[in-house]
Structure 1
Amino acid sequence: MAGRRDLQAALTSDDQGLAFVFGNKKSSSEQIEAVVAQVPQQTVSITLIHTSFSFAPNRQPYRHFYDQAQITAWAKGEIAKNGIRSALWVRPMPSQPDEFELIAGLRRLKAAKILGLAEVPVRVFELDDAAAYQAMRAENRDREEPTPLEDLDGTLNLLAIRLDTSVPEVISLLYRMDNEARGKVANQIVLGSPKAVIVEEVFADSGISWQSFLSSRLRLLKLPAEILDAIRESKLQYTKALEVAKVKDPEARQQLLDDAILEDTSISDIKVRVKQENRSASEKTTLRSQFDEVYKRVKKSKALEDPKNIKTLQKIMAQLEQLAGQ
């Protein structure tokens, strides 16, 4: 059982310890809690806790979206009545050891600030960047299933840390591994390499293969850039953003995205707008196709040579020129 292991060994950045406590999907919530419970809980001033997330490659929290209305209701209801019952996870600030950097518990921290609490309960961990990120990822995944994009970004960030490289380089490595596995290249250079071994280890702890991750998750990166930005910047919920992404016309999609963020549009209303926009785009496409077809037929016919048609064609041309000038 996790509780019987030495805490420092379990929380250091060695691969075995991290996989055992935070990285291994086989570890139960009870096992993780048993290890964490060995770290004394203390109370610190809320002003000493920083949300810089310097240990994360993207300098962002694990969760993409925090519903302010829900947090406010939760704070004024449950938290106001019962207090914060689960301590926040923090580590000493690398540059300010007397202050703390949040690892996990951003929702609780936001609730405390809403209530104007002066102090919050914390557990202080002496973790390096790699261990801190794995701890943040594990704690958040244990509390609530991540969205597919949160899972994608979290896994890519973890791989970037373990491989000591950038997220784009991680993506490139996964595609090169896939090409070799599928026999698309003559020589196998990447598979079996030290980097590929680390990739295999990370996914073994996650409970899925890297091939499944590549096919089911990496495709999300093909979403429009403005959609990905809105999700990652906590401007719009994942499910709402996916609906907005279904709008085919780029300008109409951007307008709907802006409206959804500004007006906090419900997902049902977004779906209605998406259907309207795509129907309108389809009608425009059909009209454009009809115009092109008629234009080709007129050019090939003898209608332009018949004097009887000149006045009619001149009127049509005048109307088209007027429309083109609008």
Structure 2
Amino acid sequence: MTTQNLKLNNVALFLDAEAYSNVEYRESPTQLIPLGKISLPSSQPRKYFDPPTQQKLTESIRQHGILQPLIVRPIAQGYELVVGERRYRSATELALFEVPALVKSLSDQEALSLALIENLQREDLNAFEETQSILQLLALTLEKEEEEVKSLFYRMNNEAKGLANQNVLVSEEMKSVIEVFKAIGTMTWESFVSSRLPLLKLPSDLLNELKRGQIAYTKAMAIAKISDEEKRKEILAMAIAQDWSHRQITEKVKEWQASITKTPKTNITPNQRVSQLANKLKTQNWRERPELWKQLEKKLATLEKWLDENLEP
């Protein structure tokens, strides 16, 4: 069995909540560990903690204690947290001396994998966090950088649409990707490419609210169609404050698009148009879209030939 298959078996095990729970408790009984001996890892899947939600957990722990133990692994200086950062933060705020924990001997990769999968099982996981966790999990499984994983997705998508030779679709990497999405069980790789990867390219104002869980990703994608930054921020603020439905947001976007269409466009010079097209091409990440770049190269070659034939040197 290959190393990659072993990793996928571990993923499948961790995603099986019952098996995961049984293994943890059987191999490592709960211990009371001094909070001061537990340190946070350098890489954590979760980046944002909603203050009101965190405060509710703190109050619950104040009244009832920590009901679900943390998972830690032994390190030279004591222990490193693997799962349970929200509980850890609340315990720190309450100045608890010790906390219940399961101690497991895990490698760096195993610890990160377990943290990622635990993160994916959370009910309050927002779309941005889920997207990042899936990318990190696949990067770990495939032993690639996240940018390489994104490029793999784009190649797979192009091949599935018949825009490229079907080499990736029958590869071991493709099989691994499919297995991971089967284990996760919430979406396919195709839906991930179409609805989740675009989230990473959202404007910063939308992305920040998405990270904070203030707006659904489908609503954020709809608002992103407004290119005017000031208008977009205005619609975003109103959508959050008034809890607009997706339909209401779509109507507002259509109203803005209609107003833009009615506004007479100022004439631009040929040089300005050429400059605009050049800038648009420069802003694209062609490494992520190799098949599209090949198509563009052909069109550029045709354009260059036309320029050579018709313009003065």
CA contact (8 A) 1:65 1:231 kept: no
CA contact (8 A) 2:38 2:80 kept: yes
The answer to whether the aligner puts 1:184 opposite 2:163 as a matched pair is: yes
Aligned-partner SS, 2:169? coil
Alignment counterpart, residue 63 of structure 2, candidates 78, 81, 86: 81
Quickly say closer, same or farther: Cα 1:194–1:241, change in 2 above 3 A. closer
What TM-score do the two structures reach when normalised by structure 2? Answer: 0.68
- Offset at residue 190 of structure 1 (A): 1.9
The residue that corresponds to 1:37 in the other structure is 25
- Offset at residue 19 of structure 1 (A): 3.0
Q: Deviations over 1:196-253 (max 9, x none)?
A: 2322222232234322322232232342244325544xxx324278757727221344
CA contact (8 A) 2:57 2:87 kept: no
CA contact (8 A) 1:244 1:256 kept: no
CA contact (8 A) 1:41 1:87 kept: yes
Amino acid at match of 1:198: S
Higher Rg: 1
Amino acid at match of 2:55: T
- Offset at residue 83 of structure 1 (A): 0.5
The residue that corresponds to 1:305 in the other structure is none
Amino acid at match of 2:90: A
Partners of 2:35 and 2:189 in 1: CA distance: 40
Q: Deviations over 1:28-81 (max 9, x none)?
A: x333211111212112222222223x4xxxx3333x5322233223322x2112
CA contact (8 A) 1:244 1:253 kept: no
- Offset at residue 107 of structure 1 (A): 1.2
Partners of 1:99 and 1:266 in 2: CA distance: 47
Gaps of 5+ in 1: 1-12, 294-326
Partners of 2:240 and 2:36 in 1: CA distance: 37
- After superposition, residues 118-129 of structure 1 pair within 5 angstroms as 118-129=97-108
CA contact (8 A) 1:103 1:135 kept: yes
Alignment counterpart, residue 44 of structure 2, candidates 53, 57, 60: 60
Quickly say closer, same or farther: Cα 1:51–1:16, change in 2 above 3 A. same
CA contact (8 A) 2:71 2:101 kept: yes
Aligned-partner SS, 1:37? helix
The residue that corresponds to 1:202 in the other structure is 180
The residue that corresponds to 1:14 in the other structure is 6
Amino acid at match of 1:239: I
- Offset at residue 256 of structure 1 (A): 7.8
Quickly say closer, same or farther: Cα 1:17–1:175, change in 2 above 3 A. closer
Aligned-partner SS, 1:14? helix
Quickly say closer, same or farther: Cα 1:40–1:216, change in 2 above 3 A. same
CA contact (8 A) 1:180 1:188 kept: yes
Cα RMSD after superposing both structures: 3.5
How many residue pairs align between the two structures? Answer: 256
CA contact (8 A) 1:92 1:99 kept: yes
Aligned-partner SS, 1:84? coil
CA contact (8 A) 1:91 1:103 kept: yes
Gaps of 5+ in 2: 268-313
- Offset at residue 88 of structure 1 (A): 0.7
What TM-score do the two structures reach when normalised by structure 1? Answer: 0.65
Partners of 2:132 and 2:71 in 1: CA distance: 21
The answer to whether the aligner puts 1:90 opposite 2:72 as a matched pair is: yes
Amino acid at match of 1:70: T
- Offset at residue 112 of structure 1 (A): 1.0
Identity over aligned pairs, percent = 33
Q: Deviations over 1:105-138 (max 9, x none)?
A: 1111121122121211111221223322231233
Partners of 2:116 and 2:93 in 1: CA distance: 25
Alignment counterpart, residue 166 of structure 1, candidates 145, 149, 164: 145
- Offset at residue 89 of structure 1 (A): 1.2
- Offset at residue 18 of structure 1 (A): 0.7
CA contact (8 A) 2:44 2:115 kept: no
Partners of 1:174 and 1:180 in 2: CA distance: 10
Amino acid at match of 1:196: M
Quickly say closer, same or farther: Cα 1:145–1:31, change in 2 above 3 A. farther
CA contact (8 A) 2:29 2:102 kept: yes
